[in-house]
C-alpha cells in the first residue's frame, strides 16, 4: 500500500513545483507593471531644433541658369593678300576703336595704286584730245570738208574715252581702298582674344582663320530661359517699368545687377520656355562671355508673408504638414498649404500664425502629443 502511494506523491509534488515555476514567469507580464515601463518611455522628451513662424516681406522672383554674352563680337580677318608685317597689340589687351592692330605689306598695293593713277592720267589726256578733234570735225563738216560719218565717229571716240576715264577713276578709288585694308584698325572698343596669325605669315583675303577676335564686355548680356507659364507675370511687371535682374557667377560673393531688356518673340516648343535677355553694365568685369551664372529676376515683394524655414515642412500622404510646439512642450501635427519656396524659406498660405514655434530637426521621432526638449544651437568651429 505504501509502495503504491509513493509514485502518486512524487507526481503531485512535481506538479506543484511546475505551477510555482509557471507563476514566477508570468509575474512580469502583469499589466500594471508593463504599463509602468511603457509610461516611463513615453515621458522621455525628444530633443528637437525649432524656429519661430514670422511675418515679413518676401520677394517674388524667378530663378534660372543663364549664359553671359558679349555685347558685340568682331572677328578680324584680312581683306587683302600679303605678308603680315607687324602686330601692334598684346593678346588680351583692351583696345580702343580706331587703334591700329596689324599691318600688311603695302608695297604691292601702293604699286597697284600708282598704276591705276597712271592709267587715269593717260586716258584723261586722250579724252581731252578726242573732244578737241570732235570740235574741229564739226567745224569742218559745216564747211563741207568733212563728212557727217567722220564727225559721228570722232564724237563716239570722245564719249568712249570719257567713259574710260570714269572707269579709271573707279580703279584708283578701289586701289586706295585696298591700300587702306593693309592697315587693320579695331572696329570697336573691346578685349582682344588669342592672336591666331603672327608676323611673317602670309595672309589672304580668303583665309577662314581670323587674325584675332574682339569682344565688347562693357556692357554684356545674360541670356536665360523662363518657363512659358511665367510669361504673363513677367510681361505684366515689365509693363510697369524696368525689371531688375541679378547674375551671380560661380565662386563669387555678390551678384551683378542689371535690367531685363529683351523677351524673345516665340516660345521654344521643344522646351516650353522663352528666351529672356538682361543687360549688365559690367564695369567691374566680373561677368565674362561664355560664363554660366545663376540668374534671379525679382518681380515684386509680398509684404506680409508668413514664413518658416523650409526644413520645417514635411510631406505626407495627406500633403504638407509641420510639427508645432505647444506651451506644454508637446507637439501637434498641423497640415499647412505652402504657397512657394524662396531659398531656405517657405511661404505658408494657410495653417500657421506668426509667433508659433515649429520643429525644424528631429521630426522622424515625433508623433502627435510627443514631449520635446529644444536643443541649444552649438557654436560653430570658426566661432570656437
Q: What is the dihedral of CA 348, 354, 355, 359, to 10 degrees?
A: 0
**Among 302, 332, 364, where does a domain finish?**
302
The pLDDT assigned to 82 comes to 95
Region for 282 from its dihedrals, namely left if φ exceeds 0, alpha if ψ lies in -120 to 50, beta otherwise:
left
Task: Express each pLDDT in 274-304 by its tens digit.
Answer: 999 999 999 999 999 999 999 999 888 888 8
Helix or strand holding residue 203 (H, E): strand 202-203
How far apart CA 197 and CA 329 sit, in angstroms, is: 77
Q: What is the dihedral of CA 109, 115, 119, 124, to 10 degrees?
A: 80
Looking only at Cα atoms, what is the longest distance across the chain?
Answer: 193
Q: Are residues 205 and 83 in the same domain?
A: yes
Q: Are residues 193 and 140 in the same domain?
A: no
Q: Are residues 261 and 242 in the same domain?
A: yes
CATH code: domain of residue 155:
1.10.287
Is residue 23 a part of any domain in this protein?
no
Q: What angle do CA 175, 177, 182 make, to 5 degrees?
A: 95
Q: Are residues 196 and 232 in the same domain?
A: no
Q: Are residues 174 and 119 in the same domain?
A: yes
The pLDDT assigned to 138 comes to 85
Task: Express each pLDDT in 117-149 by its tens digit.
Answer: 999 999 999 999 999 988 888 888 888 787 888
Q: Are residues 142 and 258 in the same domain?
A: no
| Better-predicted residue by pLDDT, 118 or 1 | 118
Q: Are residues 66 and 153 in the same domain?
A: no
DSSP 208-234: -S-SEEEEEEEEEEEEEEEEGGGHHHH
Task: Express each pLDDT in 172-183 by its tens digit.
Answer: 999 999 999 999
**Among 253, 284, 302, where does a domain finish?**
302
pLDDT-derived band at 7, boundaries 50, 70, 90 = very low
Q: Are residues 113 and 177 in the same domain?
A: yes
- Domain coverage including residue 339: 46-58+304-374
Q: Are residues 95 and 130 in the same domain?
A: no
Is residue 382 a part of any domain in this protein?
no
Is residue 35 a part of any domain in this protein?
no
Contact present, 42 and 140 (Cβ < 8 Å): no
The pLDDT assigned to 38 comes to 40
Is residue 143 a part of any domain in this protein?
yes
Task: Express each pLDDT in 217-229 by its tens digit.
Answer: 999 999 999 999 8
Contact present, 64 and 225 (Cβ < 8 Å): yes
The pLDDT assigned to 11 comes to 36
The three grid cell numbers given for residue 12, joined into one nine-digit string: 503531485
The pLDDT assigned to 43 comes to 57
| Bridge partners of residue 76, in order along the sequence | 212
The three grid cell numbers given for residue 178, joined into one nine-digit string: 585696298
How far apart CA 306 and CA 300 sit, in angstroms, is: 16
Is residue 189 a part of any domain in this protein?
yes
Dihedral of CA 153/155/158/159: which sign? negative
Helix (H, G, I), strand (E, B) or coil at 178: helix
CATH code: domain of residue 86:
2.40.50.100
Task: Express each pLDDT in 181-202 by its tens digit.
Answer: 999 999 999 999 999 999 999 9
**Cβ-based burial of 143 (10 A; exposed 0-12, middle 13-18, buried ≥19):** exposed
Task: Express each pLDDT in 335-354 by its tens digit.
Answer: 999 988 877 899 999 999 99
DSSP 5: H
Q: Are residues 90 and 198 in the same domain?
A: yes
**For residue 315, is pLDDT > 70?**
yes
Is residue 369 a part of any domain in this protein?
yes
Q: Are residues 226 and 277 in the same domain?
A: yes
The pLDDT assigned to 341 comes to 82
Is residue 30 a part of any domain in this protein?
no
Is residue 127 a part of any domain in this protein?
yes
CATH code: domain of residue 354:
2.40.420.20
What is the pTM (predicted TM-score) of this model?
Answer: 0.65
How far apart CA 225 and CA 262 sit, in angstroms, is: 12
The pLDDT assigned to 314 comes to 94
Number of domains the chain is built from: 4
**Among 251, 276, 302, where does a domain finish?**
302
The pLDDT assigned to 252 comes to 86
- What's the chain's average pLDDT? 85
Q: Are residues 172 and 226 in the same domain?
A: no
Amino acid at each position: 500500500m505504501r509502495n503504491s502511494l509513493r509514485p502518486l506523491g512524487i507526481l503531485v509534488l512535481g506538479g506543484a513545483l511546475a505551477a510555482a515555476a509557471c507563476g514566477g514567469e508570468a509575474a512580469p507580464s502583469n499589466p500594471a507593471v508593463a504599463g509602468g515601463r511603457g509610461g516611463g518611455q513615453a515621458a522621455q522628451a525628444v530633443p528637437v531644433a525649432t524656429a519661430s513662424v514670422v511675418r515679413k516681406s518676401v520677394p517674388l522672383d524667378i530663378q534660372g541658369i543663364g549664359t553671359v554674352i558679349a555685347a558685340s563680337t568682331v572677328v578680324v580677318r584680312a581683306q587683302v593678300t600679303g605678308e603680315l608685317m607687324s602686330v601692334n597689340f598684346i593678346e588680351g589687351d583692351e583696345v580702343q576703336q580706331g587703334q591700329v592692330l596689324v599691318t600688311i605689306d603695302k608695297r604691292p598695293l601702293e604699286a597697284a595704286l600708282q598704276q591705276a593713277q597712271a592709267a587715269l592720267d593717260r586716258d584723261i589726256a586722250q579724252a581731252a584730245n578726242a573732244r578737241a578733234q570732235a570740235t574741229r570735225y564739226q567745224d569742218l563738216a559745216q564747211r563741207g570738208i568733212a563728212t557727217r560719218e567722220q564727225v559721228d565717229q570722232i564724237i563716239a571716240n570722245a564719249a568712249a574715252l570719257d567713259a574710260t576715264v570714269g572707269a579709271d577713276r573707279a580703279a584708283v578709288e578701289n586701289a586706295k581702298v585696298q591700300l587702306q585694308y593693309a592697315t587693320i584698325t579695331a572696329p570697336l572698343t573691346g578685349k582682344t582674344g588669342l592672336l591666331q596669325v603672327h608676323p611673317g605669315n602670309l595672309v589672304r583675303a580668303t583665309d577662314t582663320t581670323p587674325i584675332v577676335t574682339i569682344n565688347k564686355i562693357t556692357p554684356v548680356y545674360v541670356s536665360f530661359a523662363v518657363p512659358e507659364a511665367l510669361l504673363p507675370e513677367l510681361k505684366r511687371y515689365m509693363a510697369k517699368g524696368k525689371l531688375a535682374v541679378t547674375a551671380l557667377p560661380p565662386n563669387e560673393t555678390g551678384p551683378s545687377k542689371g535690367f531685363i531688356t529683351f523677351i524673345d518673340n516665340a516660345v521654344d516648343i521643344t522646351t516650353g520656355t522663352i528666351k529672356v535677355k538682361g543687360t549688365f553694365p559690367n564695369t567691374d568685369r566680373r561677368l565674362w562671355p561664355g560664363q554660366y551664372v545663376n540668374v534671379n529676376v525679382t518681380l515684386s515683394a509680398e509684404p506680409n508673408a508668413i514664413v518658416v524655414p523650409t526644413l520645417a515642412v514635411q510631406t505626407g500622404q495627406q500633403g504638407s504638414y509641420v510639427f508645432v510646439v505647444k506651451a506644454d512642450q508637446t507637439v501637434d501635427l498641423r497640415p499647412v498649404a505652402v504657397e512657394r519656396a524662396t531659398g531656405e524659406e517657405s511661404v505658408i498660405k494657410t495653417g500657421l500664425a506668426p509667433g508659433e514655434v515649429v520643429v525644424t530637426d528631429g521630426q522622424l521621432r515625433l508623433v502627435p502629443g510627443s514631449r520635446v526638449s529644444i536643443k541649444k544651437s552649438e557654436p560653430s568651429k570658426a566661432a570656437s
